[in-house]
Amino acid sequence: MKTVKKKRLELKGWKVGTVHEFLNLSDEEAAYVELKLALSKNLQAYRQEKKLTQEELARRLKSSQSRIAKMEAGDPSVSLDLLIRSLLALGASRKHLAQMLS
């Protein structure tokens, strides 16, 4: 958030903080959430780069379009395993996965 906007909100009585603070997450929990979100966003980018619809990707993964949507949205029901397997199925290398995670 831009500093000017943050100051304006604080002057109006709003408390501005991080998701980490709001949800009272431990450092490990926050890192896990960030990891899943990074993989989710990369999955969506890879799919779009390959010019695939969610439905086409679902067929490749023997899944459903709604599951792909949940994966791309960072839904808590989606496992890291599924995200990683899906990225590998789209052609992501282990090196690129490592870059996503760093």
Predicted confidence (pLDDT) per residue in 3-41, tens digit:
899 889 889 999 888 878 888 899 999 899 899 999 999
Give the Å distances, CA to CA, from 99 to 52, 85, 92: 23, 16, 11
Name the nearest CA neighbour of 46 among 17, 65, 71: 71
Q: Average of pLDDT values for 48-62?
A: 96
CATH 2.60.40.2550 for domain 18-101 = no
Contact 44, 51 (CB under 8 A): no
For the chain, give me the number of helices (H) and strands (E)? Answer: 7, 0
Radius of gyration of the chain (CA): 17
AA identity, residue 56? E
Q: Average of pLDDT values for 84-100?
A: 94
pLDDT higher at 53 or 10: 53
Taking the domains of the chain in order of start, what are their residue ranges?
18-101
Asked if pLDDT for residue 70 goes beyond 90, the answer is: yes
Contact 74, 36 (CB under 8 A): yes
pLDDT of residue 74: 93
pLDDT of residue 49: 96
